[in-house]
Amino acid sequence: MAQPKRKNNQLGYKRTEAIIGWVMMAPALLLLLLFLLYPFFTGFYFSFTNQRLISPNPTEFVGMRNFNRLLTMQFFTLEPERDETTGEVLRDEDGNISYPRLRNFTRDNPDYPQLDGLREFMSWQQGENRLVLLASDPVFIKSLLNIFYFVMIVAPLQGGLALVLAMMVNQKLQGINVFRMIYFMPVVISIVVVSILWQFIYDGQNGLLNSVLSALTFGNFEPVDWLGNPNTAMNSIIAMSIWQAVGFHMVIWLSGLQTIPFVLYEAAEVNGANAWQKFRFVTWPGLRSTAVLVLILITIQAFGLFAQIDVMTRGGPLDSTQTPVFQAVIRGFEQQDIADGSAISVVLFVMVLTISLIQRYLTREK
Amino acid sequence: MSQAREVTQTQKNLMIFTRYLLLILVASIFILPLIFMIMSSFKPDLQLLRDSSSIRAILPVGDLSFDNYASAFERVPIMRFIGNSLFVTATTVILSIVVNSMAAFSLAIIEWRGKGIILSVIIATLIIPADVIVIPMLMLVNQLPWIGASGIEFGWLNTYHVQIIPFIVDPLSIFLFYTYFKDLPTELVEAARIDGASIFQIFYRVIMPISGPVLATVAILKFLPMWNAYLWPLMVVQREELRPVMVGLQYFFQLDTLWGEIMAYLTIITVPVLLFYLSLQRAFIESIASTGIKG
């Protein structure tokens, strides 16, 4: 008789536990649904509507319109203007070929409905003709190109430098902890603070960088307005971003390095391996999974480039530092166009996801 | 290979010297901008600009004073901003530890139906970058109800709780707690059960007291982004008396840029974090390293 009773008790006990389990899970689950999953999915929903932050009109479903507006691109060939009688190409006083104005084709021209509302993004000379790449949203396309450039440079460079630093602070030297601590220090500082500080370093007149370069070249260096020049602005932001974040990934590499058994190095030494061979055949194979993690972390962080832009350049000069997150904030928050901002976020998420999956696939364990 | 063993003492010393030299050179790249910030905060604007073109930029030379600090305090309600940031950060860190550790304990120790699905949802949300949901989140908090002094109000903009509640739950924290609890010996829980402890008592009397390392990790990982919060408070808090420290920086970029005051303000909001980091250095570095489990 005792047996079933105990079983009953145990069942009751299990049930109470399960209820407590749910109760302990509930707050986190509720917050997770409300502040992570709900915004994530409504972001997708908003991107197919004309939602605004505050609007007297009801929200309407607009299909792919937001995405078309962001991503439409088209080539168009401009033919030179010709003399109506002779058919000769017309030139201006400087001898440049004169073309009809682009807006004749892109503004309410019934013969070219597919070009309506597009603007010039780039153009090339092709013999007498001019090949124009039109985009419905040149600023957004520029921001995509910029962020790809940023990621392509930052991911390998920051990952590689972080590995070099990790190996430097993994040496068995006295006081090595002090260096570990210093290299990591910028990570704890706000990127906003770092950006303001580096604005001073990059200043075109009194900037520290110009002074250092001028001293190193005995005054032969022409000062550069690092953030004010479209050719140097993005690279300057890249250098600063690496300076701030490299310690973070150094630490992740370091924990990977410390999992490699020391006997492997001893064995390599016995077999006469030099430093490079030790790295190539012992260190690197042991870091495979760490490498995937570091690359994915850097890529995801890099795609979110925002604070540096907001503080230092606001997308300029000449849109050379525009980024998708900066554009999403400008449109979603400053212009209160939630739909447009959400559509940019969706494009960004699809890109981050794709690239993470590709990286994971390329670096998979064979 | 025998060559390596035949190196003389001088060669050995030279090699160690080179290693330290390299380490110090790299260290100076990381540390000099911060020294520049602190030194500049004590200099008048004219001298600051003149000094920045020479080695004097990082030296405590010339006309040093606390004037920049005094005028920065006059320009901006610094104590108010620091208080706001402290309040928001501390509340979020504490609530985050409570909510996420409870959830992780439930997932790791207690048996209940459906937890497999919930665990995989939590792991899936790890890949959602925060930047992607910020715009729809703005829409959400603009509509959420709150019980205020005058009954139910809608819209969370310009409040403390809009800076706190959305950031309490954190998939990474749950995941870190979960793996830590899973690695604890099961006998701990079984023994407490036999002693007649309820499951909730097991949580806060048995498990939490031995979870120091993971508590420190989660606290640090939450502390940094909360103290450094910028984009979110910029969007949701327009009222001065609720603003955190990073948003306060905007006050210095109106009309004329007063670099000395800016450097003073940067120093005020950065040095506490640096001191905190220096005193808990090992825990900080380990907490970052532990995010490596994520892969």
pLDDT digits (tens, 9 = 90+) for A264-284: 888 888 888 888 888 888 888
Hey, are the CB atoms on A31 and B259 less than 8 Å from each other? no
Which of 233-252 (B) contact A at CB < 8 A?
Answer: 235, 246, 249
The pLDDT value recorded for residue B1 is 45
DSSP state of A331: I
- Residues of B numbered 166-225 whose beta carbons fall under 8 angstroms of chain A's beta carbons: which are they? 166-169, 171, 174, 198-200, 203, 224
* Cβ neighbours of A189 in B, within 8 Å: 34, 228, 270, 273-274
Task: Using alpha carbons only, give the angle A299, B129, A363 rounded to the nearest 5 degrees.
Answer: 35
Please compute the mean of the pLDDT values over residues B145-159 and round it to a whole number: 83
Residue among A21, A256, A300 whose CB faces B106 most closely:
A21
Q: Please, what is the end-to-end C-alpha distance for chain A in angstroms?
A: 58
Cα separation, A302 vs B259, whole angstroms:
29
CA distance A356 to B1: 43
* Nearest CA-CA distance, residue A76 and chain B, Å: 34
Testing the interface with A: which of B133, B135, B193, B238 to mutate, by most A Cβ within 10 A?
Answer: B135
pLDDT for residue A358: 83
Pick the closest to residue A258 from A294, A290, A295 (CA basis). Answer: A290
Residue B56 pLDDT exceeds 90: no
pLDDT more than 90, % of chain A: 29
- The answer, yes or no, to whether residue B295 has pLDDT greater than 50, is no
Q: How far is CA B92 from CA A128, A166, B166, in A?
A: 64, 32, 9
Q: Nearest CA of chain B to the CA of A238: how many Å?
A: 15
Instruction: Give ipTM to 2 decimals.
Output: 0.85
Task: Find the mean pLDDT for residues B197-225.
Answer: 87
- B125 vs A: CB within 8 A: yes
Virtual torsion, Cα B270, B272, B274, B280, nearest 10 deg: -150
Per-residue pLDDT of A132-179, as tens digits, reads 888 888 899 999 999 999 999 999 999 999 999 999 998 888 888 899
- d(C-alpha B253, C-alpha B42), whole Å: 19
Across the range B176-190, mean pLDDT stands at: 88
DSSP symbol at A261: -
Work out the percent of chain A whose per-residue pLDDT is above 70: 96
Q: How far is CA B221 from CA A187, B98, B254, in A?
A: 12, 15, 33
DSSP state of A82: B
Return the ∠ at Cα A214 (arms to A208 and A215), rounded to 5°: 90
Host H or E run for residue B261: helix B259-279
A113-122 tens-digit pLDDT: 777 778 888 8
Q: Which residues of A touch B167 (CB under 8 A)?
A: 35
Strand partners, A91: A97
- pTM, to two decimals: 0.86
Q: What is the dihedral of CA A134, A140, A143, A149, to 10 degrees?
A: -50
- From A341's Cα to the closest Cα of chain B, the distance in A is 6
Band (pLDDT 50/70/90 cuts) for residue A1 is very low
In which band, very low, low, confident or very high, does the pLDDT at A343 lie, cut at 50, 70 and 90?
Answer: very high
Taking only the tens place, the pLDDT of each residue in A202-212 is 988 778 888 88
